[in-house]
Amino acid sequence: MKYQSIGPVLAGCLVGAMLLTGCSEPATVENSTLQVGRDAVVASIEPRVEAANPFFEESPLYLHYPEFDRIENAHYLPAFERGMAEQIAEVSAITEQSAEPTFENTILALELSGQLLNRVSAVFYSLSSAHTNDAIRALEQQLAPELAAHDDKLVLNRTLFARIKTLFDQRAALELDAESLRLLEQYYIDFVRAGAALNSEQQQRMKEINAQTAVLQTQYSQNVLSEVNALAIVVDSREELSGLSEGMIVAAAEEANSRELPGKFVIPLLNTSGQPSLSNLQNRRLRERIHTTSLSRGSRGGDFDNREILSNVLRLRAERAQLLGYANHADYVLEDATAATVAAVNQRLSELAPAAVANAIRESNDLQQMIIDEGQDFELAAWDWQFYSEKLRAARYDFDESQLQPYFEIDNVLKKGVFFAAEKLYGITFQERSDLPVYQEDVRVFEVFDAVGTTLGIFMADPYARATKRGGAWMNAYVSQSNLMNTQPIVANHWNVTKPQAGEPALLTLDEVNTLFHEFGHALHGLFSNVEYPYFAGTRVPRDFVEYPSQVNEMWATWPEVLENYARHYETGEPMPRELLDKVLSAQKFNQGFGTTEYLAASILDQALHQLTPEQVPSADEIVAFEENALRRAGIDLDTVPPRYRSTYFSHIMGGYSAGYYSYIWSEVLDADTVEWFKENGGLRRENGDHFRRTLLSRGGSVDAMSLFRNFRGRDADIAPLLERRGLN
């Protein structure tokens, strides 16, 4: 039941309430306490939509795959209302029973509760990110305070908490197996961290904070998506787009036509500060316009300004943390992470920042020299970096992105790259299915088979960017694996590749190739899950551990055997020339100063915002100045390298990554050390994959995260491989 809120890179299931079990489906196991509550509420509720509502019963489709062809906007609200009422009744049945608390009648019953709410939440919150519409957006705002209040009715239930505490205090005598004991302990910790031990007055304030925060976070996230669409760059002439590929120009023209701007060109903005088009656009004035527009998001005034929302969220989070006895929100968040303390995160970031900045300055000097060598007299600016770094890459390594893309056709990358690596490493196979419904025509569905031929689960791929989809890339689960619930996983990857015009191939950049491998690493974490309880399924691990397996999977993108298999010219089928492949591999450390610095700047900004008391939180008018001061104090305020995200469009920190954006670099320590292990043990071998799967990927959150790493690696992690990889040593 571990809550994983909606974040930019979702490694777990999208759920709307803290005690929802995520994407698990109804168990084949019946629990009498649970059933009494469910029967009572079903008998008493007058449904707004008749039995035609596909959420009211488990899906009859294969593995309980969602009935996307039947689901309509009108089904969501009745399903949420019945689901919340049903779970409240189920919990009442737990608390009102006369029997003394046992693991079965309290913890297990709680784990089995909320199944209808899980079903509708899994679909609704997935589509609110992947394929939203006005009705979903409006309902999302309406549901935010209602689901927050529902959470509070559960986690602030004194009678329920008393039963959990009784079992927690007696846990040594209960003779539970290791996973059941961990489930009991985690429930107790979650309830305490949610405020179950507070007095009545404090709990009332907690409810107010939770409701207000839920509304504000939804508004913030919707503003980000709305403004990205509203601020797309309109270009008057084809000449201004010199440097872009023909495919990108055609896509810009089609985007303009879709906006009823015939004869013009539209370049959509993506979620990060930097924009992909800046790598190729020769028009410096247009580059500046794109870049400054990107950085202005959320702070321009008007309907989508996020400064006041952000300030209020930060203040509420800080107050909530202090109410629970923590110094600040970061202190609260990090206690439940592998990092454990604010001091540990601050130390890691401060250790890495100086070397990253030094590398970035060296790189900027090289770019400035290139500008001078071309006879130009301007100083390198942030909107020039991507353009000149691509030129420098081409000069230094004798290749550029345009040479690579013909070898990275999306279907080849997916089937002969991502799937091929998984087949070689884990023995699994894939079969595409066209008989299962999808929520959007470009979504693809694959059944995944284990090495012995049995079905492991279902994988969905949603590749293309669209106005109804938020930026970035992420994984989520519609159904999570659980032996208790007798469910197999249904997981999805979402990317934002530019959709080509009809009849043309989708050719990826090297970064996009890497993204496909990364997100599929999350998918493998979900597919390989083999746990009893849905609370621990798949990616339900600490936030600063969840990126680790997905980052490991990136290594296969450039592993020679894999790259040679998928990197084939989309027209001729010829493999990427060996000399070009060698150049790609030799350039892997190129521009790492920039990449590490922009990432660390965002991570440091995240920590600075969340290590404040309520009184220290900047007002809306002070947000921008606070950012500048925070980066200056950290010594990472380079004008040419802005943070990957500024706080007003930093969607991660409105989801599951508040005070947690450091997780990527924290996980990368484990990742880099794991890559060394694979190399030392022969690389892409079944024995290696089976060991990684058995000791780590299959265990989900059922074992302490760092214990899982030690079980796999045989020791604690070494930071040296990370420093070598990023050129920080």
Q: What per-residue confidence (pLDDT) applies to 587?
A: 86
Catalytic (active-site) positions:
519
Per-residue pLDDT for 34 more than 70?
A: no
- Residue 72's contacts (CB-CB under 8 Å, 6 or more residues apart) are none
Distance (Å) of CA 14 to CA 21, 304, 333, 539: 10, 25, 19, 12
Q: What per-residue confidence (pLDDT) applies to 2?
A: 36
User: Do the beta carbons of residue 537 and residue 529 sit within 8 Å?
Assistant: yes
User: Do the beta carbons of residue 178 and residue 292 sit within 8 Å?
Assistant: no
Per-residue pLDDT reduced to its tens digit, 689-724? 999 999 999 999 999 999 999 999 999 999 999 999
**CA-CA distance, 564 to 332, in Å (whole number)?**
46
Per-residue pLDDT for 622 more than 90?
A: yes
Strands, E assignment, 424-488: 429-433, 444-449, 455-464, 474-479
Per-residue pLDDT reduced to its tens digit, 266-309? 999 988 999 999 999 999 999 999 999 999 999 999 999 999 99
Cross-strand partners of 460: 445, 492
**CA-CA distance, 549 to 646, in Å (whole number)?**
27
- The CATH number of 32-197 is 1.10.1370.40
What is the rounded average pLDDT of the residues 193-209?
Answer: 97
Helix or strand run (H / E) with residue 677? helix 663-680
* Confidence at 20, pLDDT banded by 50, 70, 90: very low
**CA-CA distance, 201 to 14, in Å (whole number)?**
31
What tokens appear for 245 in the block? 């590929």
What tokens appear for 505 in the block? 């191939």
**CA-CA distance, 506 to 415, in Å (whole number)?**
14
Token look-up 């927690």 returns 168
Q: What per-residue confidence (pLDDT) applies to 585?
A: 83
* Confidence at 171, pLDDT banded by 50, 70, 90: very high
Q: What per-residue confidence (pLDDT) applies to 42?
A: 45
Per-residue pLDDT for 3 more than 50?
A: no
* Confidence at 50, pLDDT banded by 50, 70, 90: low
Per-residue pLDDT for 122 more than 90?
A: yes
What is the rounded average pLDDT of the residues 146-168?
Answer: 97
What tokens appear for 80 in the block? 């949420």
What tokens appear for 518 in the block? 């990364």
Q: Which CATH superfamily is domain 307-399+591-661 in?
A: Neurolysin, domain 3 (1.10.1370.10)
Per-residue pLDDT reduced to its tens digit, 362-412? 999 999 999 999 999 999 999 999 999 999 999 999 888 788 999 999 999
Per-residue pLDDT for 261 more than 60?
A: yes
* Confidence at 46, pLDDT banded by 50, 70, 90: very low
When the pLDDT of each residue in the chain is averaged and rounded to a whole number, the result is 92
What is the rounded average pLDDT of the residues 428-440?
Answer: 98
Which sign, positive or negative, has the C-alpha torsion 230, 231, 235, 236?
positive
Q: What per-residue confidence (pLDDT) applies to 29?
A: 36
* Confidence at 51, pLDDT banded by 50, 70, 90: low
Per-residue pLDDT for 613 more than 50?
A: yes
User: Do the beta carbons of residue 427 and residue 525 sit within 8 Å?
Assistant: no
Per-residue pLDDT for 596 more than 50?
A: yes
User: Do the beta carbons of residue 658 and residue 329 sit within 8 Å?
Assistant: yes
* Helices and strands, number each (H, E), in the chain: 27, 7
| Best CATH choice for the domain 406-586+665-725 from the list 3.40.50.1820, 3.30.9.10, 1.10.1370.40, 1.20.1090.10 | 1.10.1370.40
**CA-CA distance, 215 to 224, in Å (whole number)?**
15
Phi and psi, residue 156, nearest 5°: -105, 15
Q: Is 654 helix (H, G, I), strand (E, B) or coil?
A: helix
User: Do the beta carbons of residue 614 and residue 373 sit within 8 Å?
Assistant: no
Per-residue pLDDT for 30 more than 60?
A: no
Q: Is 574 left (phi over 0), alpha (psi -120 to 50) or beta?
A: beta
Per-residue pLDDT reduced to its tens digit, 498-531? 899 888 999 999 999 999 999 999 999 999 999 9
What is the rounded average pLDDT of the residues 451-470?
Answer: 96
Q: What per-residue confidence (pLDDT) applies to 728?
A: 84
User: Do the beta carbons of residue 60 and residue 487 sit within 8 Å?
Assistant: no
Are the folds of 307-399+591-661 and 406-586+665-725 the same?
yes
Per-residue pLDDT for 35 more than 80?
A: no
User: Do the beta carbons of residue 541 and residue 703 sit within 8 Å?
Assistant: no
Can you give the residue ranges of every domain in the chain? 32-197, 231-296, 307-399+591-661, 406-586+665-725
